[in-house]
Amino acid sequence: MECILKVNELEKSYGERKAVKGISFNVKQGEILGFLGPNGAGKSTSINMISTVVNYDKGSIFFLDKEVKRNENYLKQNLGVVPQDIAVFTDLSAYNNVKFFCSLYGFSGKELRKNVEEALNFVGLWDRRKDLPSEFSGGMKRRLNIACAIAHKPKLLIMDEPTVGIDPQSRNNILETVKKLNENGTTIIYTSHYMEEVENICTNLIIMDEGTIIEEGTKEQLKNKYSKDSLEEIFLQLTGKELRD
């Protein structure tokens, strides 16, 4: 399977503190990669470097065999990001929120309207398209966040804790959305503090701690290697820390 993303010896320091210490990994096209680590492990910094929000000190990132530093716009055109904190405009309707974010990628006219409608239908919010986010539940706001991130049809989607602070029914709805996106061809990097989510949707896993990758592989490979029934047990054995700390 073709690699959509290659990360090579990536490093990032903040003053004297080295947040990421030369990590390397590949993301295969069509997979859902679970990106795990306790607080302070370096996973958020890593994701921010991949999405070009944060500059890296050393190393390289290749997206579809193009080096990101030399082809940053190419990555941005094909990347969607669902941040942990809800990022929508409270004074714009759901429709106009998605329309705004999609228009940033050069869409206009009929194509823009079509993409907005498809994205809102995909997350189940088309019937609420005229409403303001302030009228939405936490789960609906999360779904609107996803619609804003997928309307331009990205090849790679980064989802950073997309189910934090929502009820179980909304969480299940979002997980089903993630599965459908993946079935439709979107490659996904997914971070979560809920191990059952990772068990449910991810095909491969990376576990980080103290700025390094300490383990990676499929769920089955990790369970066989550590003779454990659950990923939560494996995580605790590797890091000595609870995932939700």
Specify the amino acid at residue 67. E
Give the per-residue pLDDT at 245: 47
Give the per-residue pLDDT at 244: 62
3-state secondary structure 190-212: EECCCHHHHHHHCCEEEEEECCE
By C-alpha distance, which of 102, 103, 173, 110 is closest to 137?
173
Per-residue pLDDT tens, the chain, 245 aa: give them: 689 999 999 999 999 999 999 999 999 999 999 999 888 889 989 999 999 999 999 999 999 999 999 999 999 999 999 998 899 999 999 999 999 999 999 999 999 999 999 999 999 999 999 999 999 999 999 999 999 999 999 999 999 989 888 888 888 999 999 999 999 999 999 998 888 888 899 999 999 999 999 999 999 999 899 888 888 888 888 888 777 64
Give the per-residue pLDDT at 141: 94
Answer yes or no: are the C-beta atoms of 41 and 241 closer than 8 Å. no
Give the per-residue pLDDT at 182: 95
pTM of the model: 0.94
Give the per-residue pLDDT at 118: 97
By C-alpha distance, which of 34, 48, 38 is closest to 190?
34
**Rounded CA gap, 69 and 55, in Å?**
9
